[in-house]
Chains A and B, each alone.
Chain A
Amino acid sequence: MSQVFLGMPAAGEGNLFADESFPKAAHHELQNTQLRANLRHATHSIRDKRLRVVGELPDWESLRNAGEAIKNQAMARLDERLEEFEKNFTARGGIIHWARDAAEANQIVTDLIKQTGSTEVVKVKSMATQEIGLNEHLETQGIAAFETDLAELIVQLDHDKPSHILVPAIHKNRTEVRDIFLREMPDVDPNLTNEPAKLAEASRKHLRKKFLSTKVAISGANFALADTGTLGVVESEGNGRMCLTLPETLITVMGIEKVLPSWQDIEVFMQLLPRSSTGERMNPYTSLWTGVTENDGPQNVHLVLMDNGRTRALSDRFGRSALNCIRCSACMNVCPVYERTGGHAYGSTYPGPIGAILSPLLTGIEAEENNSLPYASSLCGACFDACPVKINIPEILVHLRGEDVDSQRGKKLLPTQMDLLMKGGSWALGKGRNLDLMEKGLPLGKLAAGRDKKIKRLPGIAAGWTASRDIPAPPSKSFRDWWKSEKEGK
């Protein structure tokens, strides 16, 4: 540990864990050719859209710099911003609840719903409530939660879990969606086709009754503005607007890192977010609310401010900028690893490049299989280039790999092959003359090669390489050797 703490901040809980190591999970997902075709189609079309609308803004790089600076400023004085927000939100009639972790947040929300006497709630798409497993918790308490975002609805009806933070059903194509609706929607038209407009209409009919009858809504928030005490939700379908305005009680669950210093800051984020997420210049619906407005909209307005590992992530000076994430999903849309494995391989609610750093930062690198996540990247850097707030994801991945290796030191009875390779490599590559000595053995490598001068099979950890790739036979002389004889006459 590079810093001294009075106590390590608590680790995050809930749906933040890889169920099995990433390579194993990826191995299963890679076999699913339908999934790969769906993902390839979806990620490539979002990529192209994003590039088109980003290219329209001559000041895109300045906007990214501004987004990064505002987030850094907000994080540097997060404690003060949160108290300022609390003061302003409360002054306008809202009620704040503080939750240390997933369990506390779930308990608070459950109690608030029970106080209303309702046993049903409608939900706006929210990552925070996915993170804490709120729907599953409410079910155990006899409360039914209805997702109203189309893709969340698809996933919920299919008893599946989201595989993308913006397009939760990205792993499904429209024929699969039609089949889910036919199977799970009680009064659906049995002649439903797979046309997007028909599918949207079916879900609209299904949801309309819920909007009009349900008294409690649950949402997340894209941002909280400290100087006015305002919350905001950015969405495409209008289901969010219905949830935020029709019910009597509105309960929002939000991570503490979402607070921005001032109202003016949304100018920057409303340019960055829609372009980076859906590839649109402007999203169709942006809802902002500040406490309670008498006789207009929900009259009981709550906000659960949740830590769940965020203070822990904030204490990591090399990793803390991961908290600047605005959940746009641009990084997963451009990631070549995500494109091939899909989101479920990451286990956590947060998949893709941002998930590979955020999940272990929230839970600690040693939690379950989360130490395999930082290795789920070729470090190609496409995520860093796409990130609207310039989170240097590859650098944080490398940092967390270091944390992982350090956390294992002294715990293993025997060194792994990788440990030995790295120890040996440290010696061999730590001095020119050591490397020279190793290179003198290069001709030996020729023995491993076949008549075609290719090495086809290696043992141990290198076997994965030679499963699909040849290695050329090494040359008889290193460059260093050639230089000595040719240029220095030695």
Chain B
Amino acid sequence: MRIALFATCIVDAMYPETAKSTVKILERLGHEVIFPAGQACCGQMHMNSGYMPEALPVVENHVQAFERADYDVAVAPSGSCVSSLKHQHGMLAERLGKPDLKSRAAEVAGRTYELSQLLTDVLGITNAAEQLGSYFPHSVTYHPSCHGMRLLKLGDRQLDLLKSVGGITVQELPEADQCCGFGGTFSIKNSDVSSAMLQDKARNIASTGASLCVGGDVSCLMHIGGGLSRNGQKPGTMHLANILASTKEEMVAL
């Protein structure tokens, strides 16, 4: 299959290892990965902050970059950015009176998958150790990010993949379904409430005794990791893709 990678702006700029890992996993399965060069961002930061006209060029750019490229399906290592494609691009187009953009955006969103969705639903991966060679001999816990959980209805896809990694121990996270408090510019505009939510998340993560908190969205993980680091709490954070890419031969360090 020819798979187009939507790296997402934050992975591209801050967490390139997560995009590289996504490429590795897919190539390991024998697929061809392309990277549509014009891509940048889904526009969620602008829309969620209320800057709709400013979001328009960002959304138009995404749609253009992904309708021009030649591929079977697209994938992003983010539940939040894929949710934005599926739930917000149409809303923005409608609001700004762009019916043409609305249908083009729906076409692009229709064949874009979040990573665990693609692996599970399209590529039939049920056992990461066996099918991907994934190996990660550490104790981890898992935070299901809100947009993947509630907007994409990912269910246990990410967690099941994580549990099937060789050598891994997955500790259950108390109150896992509670938001970490990131919410994009919410963490800036309402930083006190956001911090209060973050502290509860950090406490719950630390209580598991795991070495790492794993998730499917680097934005939430940056937020959680930033809190844990500031508190001097031990666990770090890592994206699921990095762990799936880890093998016995090429082991990802904690």
Q: Which residues of A contact B (CB under 8 A)?
A: 2, 22-23, 26-27, 30, 36, 318, 336-337, 340-341, 374-382, 384-385, 395, 398-406, 418, 422-423, 425-435, 438-439, 442, 454, 456, 461-462, 464-465, 467-472, 474-475, 477-480, 482-483, 487
Check B52 against A402 for contact (C-beta < 8 Å): yes
Interface residues of B in 150-168 (CB under 8 A from A): 150-151
Check A465 against B188 for contact (C-beta < 8 Å): yes
Encoded as 1 (CB less than 8 Å from any A CB) or 0, chain B from 172 to 212 comes to 00000111011111111111111111110000000000000
Check A472 against B227 for contact (C-beta < 8 Å): no
Check A429 against B13 for contact (C-beta < 8 Å): no
Check A487 against B190 for contact (C-beta < 8 Å): no
> Given A378, A428, A429, which contacts B197 in the complex, CB threshold below 8 Å?
A378
* Cα of A2 to Cα of B50 in the assembled complex, Å: 16
10 contacts between A and B (CB under 8 A): A30-B192, A336-B178, A340-B193, A375-B189, A398-B47, A426-B54, A468-B227, A472-B226, A474-B13, A475-B16
* Cα of A429 to Cα of B43 in the assembled complex, Å: 8
Check B48 against A379 for contact (C-beta < 8 Å): yes
* Cα of A438 to Cα of B7 in the assembled complex, Å: 16
Which residue of chain B is the closest to A392 with respect to CB atoms? B87
Known: A380-B183, A382-B179, A425-B45. A468 touches B230 (CB 8 A): yes
Check A425 against B46 for contact (C-beta < 8 Å): yes
Check B179 against A406 for contact (C-beta < 8 Å): no
For residue A479, which residues in chain B have a CB less than 8 angstroms away from its CB? 7, 11-13, 16, 19-20
Known: A23-B192, A425-B54. A475 touches B150 (CB 8 A): no
Check A471 against B222 for contact (C-beta < 8 Å): yes
Check B197 against A430 for contact (C-beta < 8 Å): no
Check B49 against A405 for contact (C-beta < 8 Å): yes
For residue B16, which residues in chain A have a CB less than 8 angstroms away from its CB? 475, 477-479, 482
Check A377 against B183 for contact (C-beta < 8 Å): yes
> How distant is A316 from chain B, measured CB to nearest CB, in Å?
12
Check A435 against B12 for contact (C-beta < 8 Å): yes
For residue B43, which residues in chain A have a CB less than 8 angstroms away from its CB? 429
**B interface residue count range (under 10 / 10 to 19 / 20 to 34 / 35 or more):** 35 or more
Does chain A have a CB within 8 A of B91? Answer: yes
For residue B87, which residues in chain A have a CB less than 8 angstroms away from its CB? 395
Say which one of B34-42, B116-124, B133-141 lies at the interface with A: B34-42
Q: Which residues of B contact A (CB under 8 A)?
A: 7, 9, 11-17, 19-20, 35, 37-41, 43, 45-52, 54-55, 57-58, 60-61, 65, 87-88, 91, 95, 146-147, 150-151, 177-179, 181-199, 222-223, 225-227, 229-230
For residue A454, which residues in chain B have a CB less than 8 angstroms away from its CB? 229
Check A469 against B227 for contact (C-beta < 8 Å): yes
Known: A395-B87, A426-B46, A465-B187. A406 touches B40 (CB 8 A): no
Check A429 against B183 for contact (C-beta < 8 Å): no
For residue B184, which residues in chain A have a CB less than 8 angstroms away from its CB? 379
Check A430 against B190 for contact (C-beta < 8 Å): no
Known: A340-B193, A379-B186, A406-B52. A487 touches B35 (CB 8 A): yes
Which are the 3 A-B pairs with shortest beta-carbon distances?
A: A378-B183, A464-B191, A401-B50
Check A483 against B151 for contact (C-beta < 8 Å): no
Check B9 against A341 for contact (C-beta < 8 Å): no
For residue B182, which residues in chain A have a CB less than 8 angstroms away from its CB? 378
Check B183 against A26 for contact (C-beta < 8 Å): no
Known: A475-B14, A482-B20. A426 touches B179 (CB 8 A): no
> Given A426, A471, A487, which contacts B55 in the complex, CB threshold below 8 Å?
A426
> How distant is A351 from chain B, measured CB to nearest CB, in Å?
14
Known: A472-B14, A475-B16. A426 touches B49 (CB 8 A): no
Which residue of chain B is the closest to A2 with respect to CB atoms? B95
Known A30-B192, A395-B91, A398-B50; 15 more pairs at CB < 8 Å: A2-B95, A23-B192, A26-B193, A381-B147, A381-B150, A404-B50, A405-B49, A405-B50, A422-B51, A432-B61, A464-B192, A469-B226, A472-B222, A479-B11, A482-B16
* Cα of A195 to Cα of B61 in the assembled complex, Å: 63
* Cα of A463 to Cα of B118 in the assembled complex, Å: 38
* Cα of A423 to Cα of B186 in the assembled complex, Å: 18
For residue A377, which residues in chain B have a CB less than 8 angstroms away from its CB? 183, 186
For residue B181, which residues in chain A have a CB less than 8 angstroms away from its CB? 336, 378
For residue B39, which residues in chain A have a CB less than 8 angstroms away from its CB? 432
> How distant is A54 from chain B, measured CB to nearest CB, in Å?
15
For residue A465, which residues in chain B have a CB less than 8 angstroms away from its CB? 187-188, 191, 226
Check B196 against A378 for contact (C-beta < 8 Å): no
* Cα of A374 to Cα of B183 in the assembled complex, Å: 13
Check A22 against B14 for contact (C-beta < 8 Å): no
> How distant is B233 from chain A, measured CB to nearest CB, in Å?
12
Known: A422-B54, A470-B226. A376 touches B191 (CB 8 A): no
For residue A461, which residues in chain B have a CB less than 8 angstroms away from its CB? 188
Check A429 against B41 for contact (C-beta < 8 Å): yes
> How distant is A390 from chain B, measured CB to nearest CB, in Å?
13
Which residue of chain B is the closest to A480 with respect to CB atoms? B12
Check B190 against A26 for contact (C-beta < 8 Å): yes
Known: A430-B58, A432-B37, A475-B16. A341 touches B193 (CB 8 A): yes
Q: Choose among A402, A427, A433, A472 the residue with the greatest number of B CB atoms under 10 Å from its CB.
A: A402
Q: Choose among B35, B88, B199 the residue with the greatest number of A CB atoms under 10 Å from its CB.
A: B35
> How distant is B2 from chain A, measured CB to nearest CB, in Å?
14
* Cα of A130 to Cα of B16 in the assembled complex, Å: 53
Which residue of chain A is the closest to B65 with respect to CB atoms? A432
> Given A27, A425, A439, which contacts B12 in the complex, CB threshold below 8 Å?
A439
> Given A27, A401, A418, A429, which contacts B48 in the complex, CB threshold below 8 Å?
A401
